[in-house]
Each structure stands twice: as C-alpha cells, then as structure tokens.
Structure 1
Amino acid sequence: MAEDMTIESYLAAGGVLTNPVNVPPRYRAELMKLMATFVDSELAGAAGFADIINQGPGIKERIAAAKIVLEKTDNADRVLRIMGEFGANTQRYANHHPWTARLDRSADIGASRSEHDMRLAVFNYPIEGWVDAVMMNLLMSRAVIVQLADFSMISYQPLAEAFRTIAPIETRHGELALEGAVKLVELGQADALQASANYWWPRVAASFGTGSTERTEALRAMGLRRTGNAEMRTRWEAEAGNLLDSLGLKRP
C-alpha cells in the first residue's frame, strides 16, 4: 500500500488485507458480522440436520445427512478460527448459543435475527421430516452457493480463501439434496415436496435481506460486497426455480 494512501482509499481501489493489524474499526465490525452470520448459520443448520439423520429412508440417505452435519460444522470451525484472530473466544463459542432452538412452524419473522445469535432467519424454523429436510437443503444450499460466489472475492484475503475452500463443499450438499429429491419424486412424494417448497421458498428468499443502497455501497467501498441483495436474490430465484422445474414442481 502506498504511504500516501489511506486504508479506506486502498480498499476502495481494490486492495486486500491479510491480517487484523490496522484494520479500520468499521471494516472490522462488518467483517465480524459477516463471519458470525456464517458461523452461526452453519452451526444452527448442522444442529437442525443432526435431528433428521435417523429419519433417512436408507443407509445412503443417512450417510449423506451425517456428512452434511459434519461438513457444516467443519465449515463453521474454519471461519471461527479466523474470528479468533480478531479476539473471538473460539473455545466457548460452540456451546454459547442454543443451536437447536427453533420457532413454531407457523412463525413468520422475515429477515429478523433471533435473540440468541446471528444465524440467518431461515435457520430459526423447524424441519419436519425427511422430505422437508431434503427440500430445505435443496433451496438453501443454492442460496449459500450464490452468497459464497460473492464472499469468495471479499477484501479480507484469509476469509476469501476460506470461502473458496467451502464453496465446493456447499455445492456438493446441494447435489446430495437434488439426488434425494429425485428419488423422492420417483417414490411418489412430489406433492409433499411441493408443499415443502411452498413453505421454504419465501423463508430462504428472506435470507438475502433487503439492505439499503447506502449500506451496500459502503460495503462495496470496503471490498466486503460486490453484488447487491436484490441481484443475488434474483439469481437464486432463477437457479432454484430451475431445480424445481427439473423435478416437475412449481415455483412458489
């Protein structure tokens, strides 16, 4: 970084940071929020799927669910270690929040966070059975893939690298969900999948939030965002819709 260039102008020009030293306060706050949201969502998501493992209709399906739980927990740990470099208590973190806590199925909190942690709102809703788990994973994994495409290019290099490592793992989770959905359709569960899609679609869509243009531009200036919420949601709607089309289901 040139001596006469501020960190802010350096970031706005596309520069990257590689360690917590000299990270501007607002940049640090936004970076920690991004990491906490990801870690908390992965841990809450893993906790939800852990309860579903033994509902898998066969050994292969149970292995797939267990694999998702393991890898989501590992993804959370990968990012949590970076949070630790900024002072987060990584030893206490895993047991500090009620990851299995869920709202009533009929609740509708939009994009609101829970009072417990920074998980995305969608992870506050309960999963009801195997079919529901498959559809939730199908729709949400596609949302995560869209978000990771943006996060993998952020200006904090260690986190960007972590997200680039995580992206193909989350992509595989989506592939496992699609395989499971195809099998369920073959077994005559299309109506149940459609009902589940109708439930999860608006809740996954809310994960992209709204976000003011002013805040989005501020994040872009810091190199912590490239794509706006509306653009990411539109991409998700197209890609998730294509998945439903391939299964013979309707887009909610």
Structure 2
Amino acid sequence: MYGGGYIFDEPNKRPMQDTIDDPVKLAEFEQRIADGHKIEPGDWMPNDYRKQLIRMIEQHAHSEIIGALPEGTWITRAPGFKRKLALIAKVQDEIGHGQLLYNAAQTLGKSREAMINDLLSGKSKYSNVFNYPAETWADVTVIGFLIDAAAIVNQVANAKGSYGPYCRALERICYEESFHLKQGHDAFIELATGTPMQRQMVQDALNRWWQPIMHFFGPPDKTSVHSEKLMKWKVKMASNDDMRNQFLDAYVPKIWELGLTLPDENLKKDEATGKWLFSDPDWDLFMKVINGGGPCNAERLQVRKWAEESGRWIRKALMNPNAARSFPVA
C-alpha cells in the first residue's frame, strides 16, 4: 500500500486504485479534517481524495510552467533594463513554483514523468488564461497585475486546506506571488497614468483579457462537478463563485479609479447582497479553450514538447553520470 487507497502495479510502479474505501477509515479521515488536522502522504486517504488532489495539484503545476511562456517571450522586449530584470526573476519564480507543485503531487503516487506525459498528450489540463497571446507590453502588465491577483485569491484560500504538502508549497508560492503582483501593478499603473497612447494600449489589453480572467476561477458553482466534495474534504477552501466575487470586489474598483473601463456593461455590485453582477462570460468558449481549442494551445504544448525532447539527454546524463561522456557537446 502507498498511504492507503493505492497499490502499485509492478514493475512500473504505477498506482492503481483500490475499488472500495474502508467506511471506518473514511469516518476517521473525515473527522481528522473536521478537527483541523493536516493529511500527510503516509496517512490513509480515500481514493477520490487522492485522485482529486492529483488532478488539482498537477494542473496547478502545469499552469505555473505554461504560464511562464507568454511572459517569457517579452523578456528581451520589456521596456528598460529594470523591467527586463523583474520579468526574468518572475519567470524564474514561476518555473520554481511548478517544481514545488510537481513534488507535492508526486507524494500522492504519480510520477513526474507521468504528469509531463499527460500534459504533452493533452490528457492533463492547465489554466485557460495561458492559451491567449501577449500581443503588447500592456498584456504583460495585465497578466502580472490581474491574473496574478486572481491566482493569489485562489492560492491563499487553498493554502489553508487539508493536504499538508500542497498547503506548505502554497505558503511559499503565495509569498513570491505577492511580489509578482507588485511588479505587475507598478507596470500597469505606469501605463494607465502615462501618455494617451499608453492608456489606450492598456485599455485594449484589458478588453482582450477580461473574459479569460472571468473564466479563470472556473464554471459557476451550480455546474461545477468537483467543488462540493473538494470543499467537504478541505482540498478546496472557497467556491468558484465566491473566489470570483472576492476578486471583483478587490480589483474592479482599482481599475475604475484609474479611469479605465471593463468590457461588460452589466458589471455592477448589488449592494443588497454584496455580490457582483456580470454578463455570462461564454462558458462554451471556456470549455473549448480548456479542451485544446484556444488561440495558443497548440503553440504552448509545442514549446513544452520541444523543451522535453531537447533536455532529454541532460536528464539521462544526470541519472547516469558515467554515460555523459558519450553525449555530443552542443
């Protein structure tokens, strides 16, 4: 057994689920969570808890790696040496976040190689927002400010969850993301308070990114297939709708204070309920992008395939140093 719930299929060491959870152990497990204890890799856990955690953490890891790509293309074109240095540091951090999260997912019994293979085959998903192009420097500022802000809303909540390795990874990630948010906010403000051309550039970027940002937190709670069970087990600590509303509450006023607009004439806060009202952000489009039909899905995966293939000899050399002498020097 691997911490309960999974057995390994020799010789490939691939975990296979047991078919039935022990009801006594399940009750004890749920009581531990209700009492505020963390679940650790060696602890017994239900099959579906492990399965949903792998899905969630793996997708988060993929999102960190893929998310570095649109910003990475702007490192050489960022305006000025200061912005270039900041963007280099941010991209480096995002890759590091991916490594932390892959490590956390591996504690649940799925190998990093299997996770990468599932990403490259299209089986495993990642965040919708990273399948759109960064057309201008203003797009990079919107990513750094608003998309990182949306990510922080999600990650701060989930850092209080029940699975120890994921929570500890999120605590460190949130510290670094707060610096990314400051970097993005600073660049966003500079454009928004700059020349008429700069203001128009950031307004155009807002118009392009608003719907993907509204998609970021996932489908409405009434259609979400995972939220109820994940929240019961404290894998997910806030619903999609609650996180989306929290984001709107914090950041829409900041955008409006700058004299910028958002491309939704129905966007307003219902003061009676404290909830934001907005137009339907086209959930059919969201599903299309998540399932590979976005503007940059193919491009993003092609870059990852190239990196995987190009780095294969390095990984082999690291695993077998004596064989490194046989590899040609580039």
> Which of 212, 225, 229 is residue 203 of structure 1 equivalent to?
212
The higher relative CO (CA closer than 8 Å, separation ≥ 6) is in: 1
Per the alignment, residue 65 of structure 2 pairs with: 43
Which ranges in structure 1 are unaligned for 5 or more consecutive residues? 99-113
Letter in 1 for 2:247: W
* Letter matched to residue 108 of structure 2: F
Pick from 157, 162, 169 the counterpart of residue 155 of structure 1.
Answer: 162
Say which is worse superposed, 80-89 or 10-19, in terms of deviation: 10-19
SS at structure 1 position matched to 2:247: helix
What's 2:38 paired with? Answer: 16
Residue ranges of structure 2 left out of the alignment (5+ in a row): 1-23, 264-330
State the partner residue of 2:230: 219
- The DSSP-based 3-state class of the residue aligned with 2:216 is helix
- Count matched residues: 236
Distance 1:95 1:221, change over 3 A: closer
TM-score computed with the length of structure 2 as normaliser: 0.66
Of 210, 214, 234, the residue aligned with 2:245 is 234
Which runs of at least 4 in structure 1 moved beyond 6 Å after TM superposition? none
Partner amino acid, structure 1, of 2:168: E
| Contact 1:16/1:155 (8 A) holds in 2 | yes
Does structure 2 conserve the Cα–Cα contact (< 8 Å) formed by 1:136 and 1:197? no
Letter in 2 for 1:199: R
CA deviation string 1:139-169 (max 9, x = no partner): 1011001001211111001211110111121
Return the alpha-carbon distance in structure 1 between the equivalents of residues 97 and 26 of structure 2. Answer: 38
Contact 2:255–2:261 (8 Å) recurs in 1: yes
Q: Supply the distance in 1 between the matched residues of 2:122 and 2:115 (Cα, whole angstroms).
A: 16
Q: What do the CA deviations read for 1:71-108 (whole angstroms, capped 9, x no partner)?
A: 0000111111111222333257568746xxxxxxxxxx
Q: Deviations over 1:45-88 (max 9, x none)?
A: 11221111111010111111111110000011111111122233
Distance in 2 (CA, whole Å) between partners of 1:142 and 1:182 is 15
Decide whether the 8 Å contact of 1:181 with 1:247 is kept in 2.
no
Check if 1:63 corresponds to 2:85: yes
Instruction: Give the partner amino acid of 1:135.
Output: V
Identity of aligned residues (%): 24
Matched, 1:183 2:194: no
CA–CA distance in structure 2, aligned partners of residues 157 and 215 of structure 1 = 20
Whole-angstrom distance in 2 between the partners of 1:4 and 1:186? 56
Letter in 2 for 1:140: I
Structure 1 or 2, whichever has the larger Rg, is 2
1:41 is aligned with what amino acid?
S
Q: Which has the higher strand share?
A: 2
Alignment CA distance shift 1:202-1:6 (3 Å): same
Match of 1:101 in 2: none
